[in-house]
């Protein structure tokens, strides 16, 4: 199944679980999209997709200032999961399902 679509995701951060909506769009091996959470909507481009493997980065405004989020994960059917590096604040896992 294609990676394209919208996913309801949950990120298990050191400060608790955060929910959001992730929209992914592929163009060959390129990946772009948006991530919407309580901190607002953030777009990204220049991500990559290879089969079910995805990777992308974006900057978000958080209570402690702007931080870079680096996502790496897998889409399998209607499920998405992986790891996200939270700038200098460590890493977290994320998971979700197609909306």
The domain locations on the chain are: 5-98
Q: What is the reported pLDDT for 1?
A: 52
Percent pLDDT > 70 in the chain is 99
* CATH of the structural domain 5-98, one choice from 3.10.310.70, 2.40.128.120, 2.60.40.10, 3.40.640.10: 2.40.128.120
pLDDT per residue over 5-42, tens digit each? 999 999 998 888 999 999 999 999 999 999 998 878 99
CA distance 17 to 52: 25
Q: pTM of the entire structure?
A: 0.92
Asked whether 57 and 68 are in contact (CB, 8 A), the reply is: yes
Helix H or strand E segment including 75:
strand 65-76
Q: What is the reported pLDDT for 11?
A: 95
């Amino acid at each position: 199944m294609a990676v394209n679509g919208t996913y309801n995701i949950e990120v298990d951060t050191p400060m608790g679980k955060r929910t959001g909506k992730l929209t992914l769009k592929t163009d060959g091996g390129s990946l772009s999209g948006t991530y919407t959470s309580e901190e607002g909507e953030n777009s990204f481009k220049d991500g990559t997709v290879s089969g079910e493997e995805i990777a992308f980065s974006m900057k978000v405004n958080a209570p402690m200032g702007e931080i870079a989020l680096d996502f790496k994960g897998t889409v399998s059917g209607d499920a998405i999961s992986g790891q996200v590096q939270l700038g200098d604040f460590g890493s977290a896992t994320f998971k979700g399902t197609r909306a």
